[in-house]
Amino acid sequence: MEFEAVIGLEVHAQLSTQSKIFCACSAAFGAPPNENTCPVCTGMPGVLPVLNRKAVEFTIRTALATSCAVQSKSVFARKNYFYPDLPKAYQISQYELPLALAGHIDIEADGGTKRIGITRIHMEEDAGKLVHEGEFAGAQASLADLNRCSVPLMEIVSEPDMRTPEEGGAYLRRLRDILVYLEVCDGNMEEGSFRCDANVSVRPKGQKEFGTKAELKNMNSFRNVEKALEYEIRRQVEQIEDGGTVAQETRLWDAAANVTIPMRGKEEAHDYRYFPDPDLLPLIVDDAWIDALRKTIPELPAEKVARLASTCGISRYDAELLSSSRALADFFEASVKIYGGNPKVSANECIHWKDAVAAGKISPETIAHAVEDRETGKISATASKTLVELVIRTGKPLRQLREEKGLSQVSDAGALEETVAKVIAANPKEAESYRNGKAGLLSFFVGQVMKETKGKANPKIVQEVLKKKLG
């Protein structure tokens, strides 16, 4: 029997705000233990939450970029459970009435486009971190660091629209790219600012009903998500083929062993007793606010790839590479604006130097000037590379460095004639052989001229002049 998988993904993305969602503590990563805490985020008696406007705006922008319907009224609720990393013993989240509903993202699949539905996007606060003293099984105590408590998160829940691990990976990457383009999340999976849980089930191909799903957690890279999905699908199919059934459970991805394992501990506590948080009033979003935020949505990755490929004369492959970062794509466009020439060359240069671009070490002028000077023969390909490296090292403009280092090349045929004549005169035997048909000797003469000009001659022009003089 042939099986197909049904995959839905839940992403928790940390919003790139300066402060926390309900208090003025810093939301920065990596501070000393309990440094970024106050009475509000440590849940002291009598303190109250006040909502961070920017966190709302970031979530609305995400909703607009994923074609969700932003809800004019949404409600914060309390999710009640006890854990030492949850100071109030409830997490403020949105439950019945989330901020956004019913959107979608288009991904590339099987050479075409596939639409993946987004069920909802809601806002919530993060919990703190528990460090287990000793880090071994017999640890007698755990240590709570509450720095992350109340860091703003949004949860983006997809429809169960994906059928393969590759589609899952494509959806996640596209979603991550969108969030990074919007500058609402840094997309860092390793630091936990972009986390993914998966719901996976399998069913015989053609069957309408879903199978029993397992929830997968603990996948901290795109590759791990795909590997965990692959493993889990195989496991479930084998289970069914062996005559067993799939248990509804939460499983953890063990990246070292490449397997998913059932999460230990009882599920008894899953009665969260949600109710509207009386300390926060309903979140009201009017159309004027949505319209103003809509204007701040930049061109998104999919649109950018399509536009660059269709209007800039570069390949779709290059367009995708450039669009992997909004900054890189912007850099490329700025560079091409300064010097048009052959955009493919500019695209290659931008992709080649993308780390320096990301680090802000080179400007669009650097690449535009490098490409222009090469195309007009002012510098050699080697000199171009050397010059960009010098720009990165010194921070000086490329053309200033070209003059300082004497890396311009001679492309004037008239200026080269004297040197060419001199070289021919110094090598009469070789000139004779060339004229007798040993065409391969041309490169010998080119080399001699280059040596004579200390590499500053344009080899293409040298060849032309040599052919004329030897001919």
Partner 1 sequence: MAITREEVLHVARLARLALSEEEVDRLRDQIGNILDYIRQLDTLDTREVVPTSHAVEMGTPFRDDSVCPFGDKEAILSNAPDRFEDFFRVPRILED
Partner 2 sequence: MHEWTLQEAARKVRDKEISSRELTRALLDRIERINPKINAYVTVLHDKAMAEATARDETQAKGEALGVLHGVPLGLKDIFCTRGIRTTCGSRILSYFLPPYDAAVAEKVAASGAVLLGKHNMDEFAMGSSTETSHFGPTRNPWATGRIPGGSSGGTAAAVAAGLCYAGVGTDTGGSIRQPASLCGVVGVKPTYGRVSRYGMIAFASSLDQGGPVTRTVPDAAMMLGVIAGHDRRDSTSVDLPVPDYPAAAERPVKGMKVGLPREYFEVEGLDPAVRGAMEKALDALVVQGAQAVEISLPHTSFAVATYYIIAPAEASSNLARYDGVRYGYRAKVAGGLIEMMSRTRAEGFGAEVKRRIMIGTYALSAGYYEAYYGKAQKVRTLIRRDFDAAFAKVDAILTPTSPTPAFRLGEKTGDPLTMYLSDIFTIPCNLAGIPGISVPCGMSAEGLPIGAQLLAGHFREETLFTAAAAIERALPHPPVAPLEGA
Asked if residue 20 binds partner 2 (CB under 8 A), the reply is no
**Structure token digits, residue 261:** 């394992």
Which string of x and - marks every residue 48-77 that binds partner 2 (by CB under 8 A)?
Answer: xxxx--------------------------
CB-based contact 121:77 (threshold 8 Å): no
**Beta carbon nearer to partner 2, 270 or 454:** 270
Q: How many CB atoms lie within 10 A of CB 465?
A: 20
| Interacting residue with partner 1 among 124, 145, 349, 373 (CB under 8 A) | 145
**Structure token digits, residue 442:** 């041309």
Segment interacting with partner 1 (CB under 8 A) among 27-35, 115-123, 343-351, 402-410 = 27-35
Which string of x and - marks every residue 28-47 that binds partner 2 (by CB under 8 A)?
Answer: -----------x--xxxxxx
Segment interacting with partner 2 (CB under 8 A) among 158-166, 254-262, 276-284, 374-382 = 276-284
Closest by Cα among 28, 16, 12, 13 to 184: 16
User: Phi, psi at residue 149, to the nearest 5°?
Assistant: -55, 125
CB-based contact 377:461 (threshold 8 Å): yes
CA distances from 417 to 244, 421, 449 (A): 86, 6, 10
Q: Which residues pair with 125 in a beta bridge?
A: 152
- The alpha carbon of residue 439 and the mean position of all alpha carbons in its chain are separated, in whole angstroms, by 52
Q: Which does 78 bind (CB under 5 to 8 A by kind): partner 1, partner 2, none?
A: partner 2
Q: Which does 266 bind (CB under 5 to 8 A by kind): partner 1, partner 2, none?
A: partner 1
**Beta carbon nearer to partner 2, 110 or 271:** 271
Q: In whole angstroms, how close is the CB of 283 to partner 1 at the nearest point?
A: 6
Rg (CA), the chain: 31
Asked if residue 422 binds partner 1 (CB under 8 A), the reply is no
Closest by Cα among 366, 357, 367, 368 to 324: 357
**Beta carbon nearer to partner 1, 204 or 282:** 282
Q: In whole angstroms, how close is the CB of 59 to partner 2 at the nearest point?
A: 18
Q: Which does 282 bind (CB under 5 to 8 A by kind): partner 1, partner 2, none?
A: partner 1
CB-based contact 104:64 (threshold 8 Å): no
Q: Which residues sit at the interface with partner 2, rule CB under 8 A? A: 39, 42-51, 78, 80, 82, 84, 87-90, 142, 144, 271, 273-275, 278-281
